Amino acid sequence: MINSTLLLYCFLAGGVALLLMSFIMEFISSKLKLLDGIPKDMLEESSTAWFTLNFLMEFLFYVVIPSVGYSFFYLMLPFEGLRVGIAAALFALIMGAVPLVMVLSVRVKLPMAYLSFLLLSYFFKLVTSMIVIGYLYSL
C-alpha cells in the first residue's frame, strides 16, 4: 500500500532539492559559457518561463515518477537508503540520457563541452532527487 504522506514528503523534499540543484547547474552553466559555440537561432531564450517549464518537466521525471515507483517497490528492493538512490540514478541515466546524448553528439554539431555538462547536470539532478527519495523511505 502506498503511504500518501510519505509520498507527499518525497514530492516536497525532492522538489526543493531539485530546484536548488537546478539553480546551481544553471549558474555554473552561465559561468562556463557553454552555449557560446551554438548558433543563436538554435537556442531557446533563457527566461523565467523557460526555467519553470524545464523544472516542471524535470520534477515529473526526476521526482514524481521515481517516488511513485519507489513506493511500489521499496519492500522488495534488496538495499535501502542512499545506496538505492544512487543505484537507481545511475541506472536511469545510463538507460535514458546517455543514449540520447550519444546520438546528439554524432548527428548534431553541438560542442562536446556542452553535451558533457548536460550529462553531468542530469546526473547530479537525478542523484540528488533519488538520494532524497531513498533517504525518506529509509526513515
Task: Tell me what the mean pLDDT of segment 54-64 comes to.
Answer: 91
Q: For the whole prediction, is pTM greater than 0.95?
A: no
Local structure of residue 41 (DSSP, 8 states): G
Asked if residues 25 and 125 have their Cβ atoms less than 8 Å apart, the reply is yes
Give the integer Cα–Cα distance in Å for 13 and 131: 11
Domain ranges of the chain: 4-138
pLDDT in tens, 66-80: 888 878 777 776 666
